[in-house]
Structure 1
Amino acid sequence: MWPIRSLHLWLGAGYVALGVVNASITVYYPEGQNPFATTTAGAANYTGAAAYDPTTLQPPPVPTGQVFQYNVPLQNGGTPGLSIPIPAGFLGFSIEMSVVNQVVGKNSSIIQVPFLNLMSNLQQRSGRVLVRVGGNTQDTATLVPSTPDGKILEKDIAGASGPTQTPPLIFTPDLLTMLRSVSSFVNVRWFLGIPFNDTSNWRLGIVESGQSIIGDYLLGFQAGNEPDLYARHGHRPANYSPTDYFNEFGQLAQALQADTNVLNPHQLIGPNIASADWQPDQVWSTGFITTYSADLAFLAVEHYPTDNCFAQFGVGNPQDPQALFGQFLSHSFQQGLVAPYLASTLLAQQSGKQFLMMETNTASCGGFAGLSDAFGAALWGLDFAMQMAFSNFTGALMHVGGQSVFYNPFTPPPTNQSTFHQWTVGPIYYSALVMAEAMGPSNDTQVLDLAVNNGSNYTPGYAFYENGNPVRLALFNFNSDPSGASTATANVTINNPDGSSATPSQVQVKYLLAPSVSQKYNFTWANQTFGDVFQSDGRPVGTEQIETVNCDNGICSITIPAPGFALVFLTSNSETETAGAPSTTFATTAVTKLHNTASVDPAVLATSNGHTDMGDHVGSTSPGSVSGATALVVVPGLTVLIAVVAGLAVVRRGML
């Protein structure tokens, strides 16, 4: 608190003294804000960016009739029902193309260090990371040699269209060079998208330049983004059908084959439907896979469990996140999300194709405040990822948007706050980190939904197998109960095919924890965290804690707090934290702001009484400029000190 004794101001050649006033100051207002209109807004009245919304939901009540002690019998060799071998790096990210210059880097020379660190954490565990740059904005993006202001990407906000107000983009080859630069630091493998809004004039520059610049780190190109929604969004006639998409895909394949600047015309990904207005079997029935088998690198779909489009854009039906919260914390909900794709993943295997979930998250149109950014979403994302792997998906990508969404796995600070705020790491990134460690880097891991505890919806479990034997075990507790009465105990045993015990004498356990499913941020993985909003540089902080559980009488009893998740390492060589690559972190090597970079610890500022007398010190906020002002101004009744000016310096004097 600063009592103001006197303030004076030089304005041109005139000196003004307006008396003396005692006033307490606790808030500084930047230029453009009205100091007389100050209020403290509760979470319900929050008007800032969605990415930092403080809304907190109530944890769903603990369902009655649950059993919290149960057996988990495992067997070496011969276990039926395992998934196919799943490639490493299963759970990656889909970055909306319009924000790639915020999330990945400004250009190929200035890459976001926190992004590199976040990707490195995953590479360390799984060996590689899958990242798609695309989304709705890929369909209208155009590659240009350069932009007027030299940026790698520009949005045409005035030309935005569709229910989500998607702006057309132009981008330069340096955006692609930036992606390749990232891969020189971290083993990120990329997916891109070919513009699909003008099928009479295919814009293939992204393929020509992408293949030549990114090279082997480029895995494929989407042919269309959610084409089953094109008619609904006004991008195609109302009768646009799977057959129409089939024909357009064929036209694109022919254009690629005819383009001598395309190095590989066989990197297409389809059909990328949202499973909203069409279902996958409607596309398969056109002969899509057999006709275009040589052109298809991957089969892919996109799917969100629900949407928040009414709240964000005024379309669709209103949704109540509090009412939905309990659904996300139920294993059967994740099973239901995957069930419509079981026939398609089988067809993909029969066709020799990998099957990807190219874009997903908690809800389309940005997710829900209090749900998408809470600990429950981390548990949901982890269960959903494991259920997809068990169901023979070979990769899944969680979507990353800008400041206006709730579900981001990670969010850079707004540009005007980047000098004093760090990144915000959301619950879905924790899902990806744990999933990377559960799967490991072998490219041969198989997954099994164990249906433990009589198929409980609230305490599911998975086992991860290598060479036919269980090596890691995943145990969930979706309940939220601070009393401890809902803590689960899983009694784990391992037998050989002949019935003899193979249970080890001890196992290692890592926990993903938070006090409540509704807690926002500050979750811990093995006691390490990425902190609160604006607190992360992409590196986990804290002392890692790995629990050792002794197994008595051939039984390993693993406790799972409510809420919580336990990853159990069943053998001495099954830990994967550094199995993918050596631990690597990155440091800032350049800064883009060279002036006005001083900072003050907020805690120090809040308790300061201005004991340092600056005397008649004169300064300016403009580089290279010093004002002739030598004093301050007092305004009776004014409770806020405003430092504003071009050619006008406000200086503290005689503060007590």
Structure 2
Amino acid sequence: MFFLLLWTLWILDTVSASVTVYGQIPMGITSASSPTATVAAAYNTTLLQPPEIPDPAPNTSFTLTLPSSNTSVARLSIPVPGAFYGFSIEMSVITQLFGKNSSFIQVPLLNLFSNVAERAGELHVRVGGNTQDYAFFVETLPEDRAISKQSADTNNPTQTPAVIYTMDLFYLLGNVSALVDVKWYLGKFLSVPFNDTSDFRLQIVEYGEAVLGDHLLGIQVANEPDLYSAHQHRNSSYGPADYTAEFGLMVQALAADSNVPVKNNLIGPSVSGTWTPEMVWNTGFINDYVDNLFALSVEQYKLTPAKYNCFPIYGIGVFHDPQIEFSDFLNHTSAVALCEPYLNSTSIAQKAGKPFLMFETNSASCGGFPGISDSFGAALWALDYGLQMAYSNFSGAMLHVGGQNVFYNPFTAPPTNVSKYYEWTIGAVYYSALISAEVFGKTNTAQIVDMLGNSESIYTPQYAIYENGALARVGLFNFMTDPSGANSYKATLTVSGGTVPSSVQVKYFLSDSVSTKDNITWAGQTLGTIHEVDGRFKNDLNIVTISCDTSANTCVIPVPAPAFALVFMQTEESIGTATFPTTTVKGGTATVPPAVLATSNGMSGADWQLGSTSDEKSAGHPRLGTDVLRGVLFAVGLVALAL
């Protein structure tokens, strides 16, 4: 039965006559109408030189003394959920990544989501984008699409397009959750539009709650309000007190809406660095709306709004040389410095009894850096940053996902009409989310501490993780690259108030260099490289067993340069990830003008209008019947496999 379905899908694929490929790797332009090839950022092959070994180099052997119980740890984080790292997905690429409607769901996405959810217990995903403020609901869209966009508003200097959505968007998200345990934040495009406070367009909240139910975590009320003036959404005097007042109008509107049963799942203020969160707290925001808030939120990229990184793609602003910037990602100071400004706010959030979320983040605003954002070094940086956020008492963080024209994507779908030739592309930082799920586990009791060992070397940070009060795991980083092995190190673990086990298991996150984009493995397995990812792991699992000396109370853990090692101090249950067979993939994107992105953190699909890459589609000949039939066959295929 299953092979018959595969044959049927192959027949469907062969009936499409015309394909135009725009500069993807390894194939170049195959369309005679396009004389030159331009490689999208998501497939950029720039390789940088690893930074030199620091002088003096860190010690290559040191001892970490680990208390056996969390009661003996001086500064320990609050309990951290396994689903700490999630994904913030740009609304303009939702049809490319998820599927154009609820009848067709991209199988690779399900696999990528399932990998993390199986390790964390569930996965949190925020659906968003840079042009939320003009989103509105319509009954139907051509080709039964879940989203579309209207012409840009020419009266707006940023020419922001309106995002249009239908009920099917919520069914699409709900169908994903029916297959993988995904819970949602509706934000940015889907957050409550703030462009008209006389009409809050509450269909987003009403339909989200009605369709998603318990799978809806929260509603983001405004995105980056500290940039509203710059985006011409408010006048130049707009400030934190104005935002707080408008938030209050939203609370009143929800209270009066009988179609909104949940009144306390709002999220704000999602400031991006132009305002500090304290500027909002000082308006009385938390005290006034504590009963309406699900969580407090901020957004922060490695390069902040004060130091935009729009030059690599748009030629806007100041050029930051990736080779020079690279070393700043490859040390522990980077993660600590990013978290320090929020320590006061995480403390305030705890006193208010609210989670504190990093609602959108990645390596650099405006799409990231060529050579950095998709490298193994960026994956080490993002993992260290995530663990440091957890240590700083954040309760979650979302790695942003954009279109084909960004360097930092955790994953990228192929353009629609080359999906017959290519599979997906994985970004190195996807592994950061995957590994953090294993660091924290499924119990939601994990607490983490920055050990500050090895004379507090910034190139070899270490963390200890306590679960249900007991020492469970140890994380060891090595940010240096040294093929000779001279700067690999050995960490001797010893337990105070207890003894080491007779042996420990270690999973290694490895690559040849911090610069590499290929040959990245987690416990010996890889998802693949450019255009060869279906969301399922390749190669055999390789978990290293290391014998310990119980009489000396020591375990010696080698850590290559570069690498991350996760040491399991307790016996862990094996992870069996449910995956789905890849029979076909399909996608498309909307676009956002560069002017909007130049003053915004995230990035969408501008410049790469991939929703219509063949002449017959542009001429208005949709293949709706084929797409719907594929969706039906996909569903039947899952049933056949289950049988």
- The TM-score, its normalising length taken from structure 1, stands at 0.81
CA distance in 1 between partners of 2:28 and 2:423 (Å): 21
| Counterpart for residue 225 of structure 2 | 227
Report the CA distance shift for 1:589/1:533 in structure 2 as closer, same or farther (over 3 A).
closer
- The structural deviation recorded for 1:420 is 1.1
CA distance in 1 between partners of 2:542 and 2:82 (Å): 25
* Paired amino acid for 1:64: D
- The structural deviation recorded for 1:560 is 0.8
* Paired amino acid for 1:105: G
Report the CA distance shift for 1:67/1:588 in structure 2 as closer, same or farther (over 3 A).
closer
Counterpart contact for 1:125–1:576, Cα < 8 Å: no
1:55 aligns with 2:46: yes
Q: For 1:140, which of 117, 134, 140 is the aligned residue?
A: 134
- The structural deviation recorded for 1:166 is 4.9
Counterpart contact for 1:551–1:557, Cα < 8 Å: yes
| Counterpart for residue 89 of structure 1 | 83
| Counterpart for residue 507 of structure 1 | 504
* Paired amino acid for 1:559: P
| Counterpart for residue 6 of structure 1 | none
Q: For 2:581, which of 568, 587, 593 is the aligned residue?
A: 587
1:296 aligns with 2:293: yes
CA distance in 2 between partners of 1:374 and 1:159 (Å): 37
* Paired amino acid for 1:221: I
Q: For 2:184, which of 175, 180, 190 is the aligned residue?
A: 190
What SS does the corresponding residue of 1:372 show, helix, strand or coil? coil
- The structural deviation recorded for 1:200 is 2.3
Report the CA distance shift for 1:165/1:348 in structure 2 as closer, same or farther (over 3 A).
same
1:565 aligns with 2:564: yes
| Counterpart for residue 329 of structure 2 | 328
- The structural deviation recorded for 1:591 is 7.4
CA distance in 2 between partners of 1:234 and 1:453 (Å): 50
CA distance in 1 between partners of 2:134 and 2:164 (Å): 8
Instruction: Kindly report the root-mean-square deviation, in angstroms, between the aligned alpha carbons of the 2 structures.
Output: 2.1
In structure 2, runs of 5+ residues without a counterpart are 1-25, 588-614, 617-643
CA distance in 1 between partners of 2:372 and 2:361 (Å): 15
Counterpart contact for 1:527–1:542, Cα < 8 Å: yes
Once the two structures are superposed, what CA deviation does each residue of 1:111-150 show, in whole Å capped at 9, x if it has no partner?
0101110111111111100100013232221121111342
| Counterpart for residue 443 of structure 2 | 442
- The structural deviation recorded for 1:233 is 2.1
- The structural deviation recorded for 1:266 is 1.7
CA distance in 2 between partners of 1:121 and 1:157 (Å): 38
What SS does the corresponding residue of 1:136 show, helix, strand or coil? coil
Report the CA distance shift for 1:523/1:560 in structure 2 as closer, same or farther (over 3 A).
same
CA distance in 2 between partners of 1:270 and 1:571 (Å): 38
Within 5 Å, give how 1:457-468 maps onto structure 2. 457-468=458-469
CA distance in 1 between partners of 2:109 and 2:164 (Å): 23
Report the CA distance shift for 1:160/1:562 in structure 2 as closer, same or farther (over 3 A).
farther
* Paired amino acid for 1:358: F
* Paired amino acid for 1:286: T
- The structural deviation recorded for 1:468 is 2.2
CA distance in 2 between partners of 1:72 and 1:63 (Å): 22
| Counterpart for residue 179 of structure 1 | 173
Report the CA distance shift for 1:232/1:251 in structure 2 as closer, same or farther (over 3 A).
same
Report the CA distance shift for 1:208/1:160 in structure 2 as closer, same or farther (over 3 A).
farther
Once the two structures are superposed, what CA deviation does each residue of 1:566-591 show, in whole Å capped at 9, x if it has no partner?
0000122xx2552xxx5211124677
1:279 aligns with 2:276: yes
Report the CA distance shift for 1:513/1:162 in structure 2 as closer, same or farther (over 3 A).
farther
Within 5 Å, give how 1:462-501 maps onto structure 2. 462-496=463-497, 501=498
| Counterpart for residue 524 of structure 2 | 527
Counterpart contact for 2:99–2:586, Cα < 8 Å: no
Counterpart contact for 2:523–2:543, Cα < 8 Å: yes
1:548 aligns with 2:545: yes
- The structural deviation recorded for 1:67 is 1.2
CA distance in 2 between partners of 1:28 and 1:452 (Å): 49
CA distance in 2 between partners of 1:410 and 1:214 (Å): 24
Report the CA distance shift for 1:315/1:242 in structure 2 as closer, same or farther (over 3 A).
farther
- The structural deviation recorded for 1:191 is 0.2
What SS does the corresponding residue of 2:108 show, helix, strand or coil? helix
CA distance in 2 between partners of 1:291 and 1:278 (Å): 19
| Counterpart for residue 536 of structure 2 | 539
CA distance in 2 between partners of 1:422 and 1:590 (Å): 9
Report the CA distance shift for 1:162/1:398 in structure 2 as closer, same or farther (over 3 A).
farther
* Paired amino acid for 1:53: N
CA distance in 2 between partners of 1:116 and 1:148 (Å): 25
What SS does the corresponding residue of 2:131 show, helix, strand or coil? helix
Counterpart contact for 2:106–2:586, Cα < 8 Å: no
| Counterpart for residue 367 of structure 2 | 366
What SS does the corresponding residue of 1:194 show, helix, strand or coil? coil
* Paired amino acid for 2:394: F
- The structural deviation recorded for 1:495 is 2.0
Report the CA distance shift for 1:180/1:339 in structure 2 as closer, same or farther (over 3 A).
same
| Counterpart for residue 69 of structure 1 | 61
- The structural deviation recorded for 1:48 is 1.4
CA distance in 1 between partners of 2:151 and 2:345 (Å): 38
Counterpart contact for 2:390–2:448, Cα < 8 Å: yes
What SS does the corresponding residue of 2:110 show, helix, strand or coil? helix
Larger of the two Rg values belongs to structure:
1
Q: For 1:169, which of 159, 163, 169 is the aligned residue?
A: 163
- The structural deviation recorded for 1:161 is 9.3
CA distance in 1 between partners of 2:233 and 2:311 (Å): 20
- The TM-score, its normalising length taken from structure 2, stands at 0.83
In structure 1, runs of 5+ residues without a counterpart are 1-25, 39-45, 594-620, 623-656
CA distance in 1 between partners of 2:538 and 2:561 (Å): 23
Once the two structures are superposed, what CA deviation does each residue of 1:225-278 show, in whole Å capped at 9, x if it has no partner?
111111122221111100000011001111111112112122110001002x21
* Paired amino acid for 1:554: N
Report the CA distance shift for 1:197/1:508 in structure 2 as closer, same or farther (over 3 A).
same
- The structural deviation recorded for 1:467 is 2.5
Once the two structures are superposed, what CA deviation does each residue of 1:40-61 show, in whole Å capped at 9, x if it has no partner?
xxxxxx8211100111111111
Once the two structures are superposed, what CA deviation does each residue of 1:21-75 show, in whole Å capped at 9, x if it has no partner?
xxxxx999633346xx68xxxxxxx821110011111111111112121111101
Counterpart contact for 1:124–1:577, Cα < 8 Å: no
Report the CA distance shift for 1:485/1:426 in structure 2 as closer, same or farther (over 3 A).
same
Counterpart contact for 2:332–2:458, Cα < 8 Å: yes
Report the CA distance shift for 1:27/1:187 in structure 2 as closer, same or farther (over 3 A).
closer
* Paired amino acid for 1:395: G
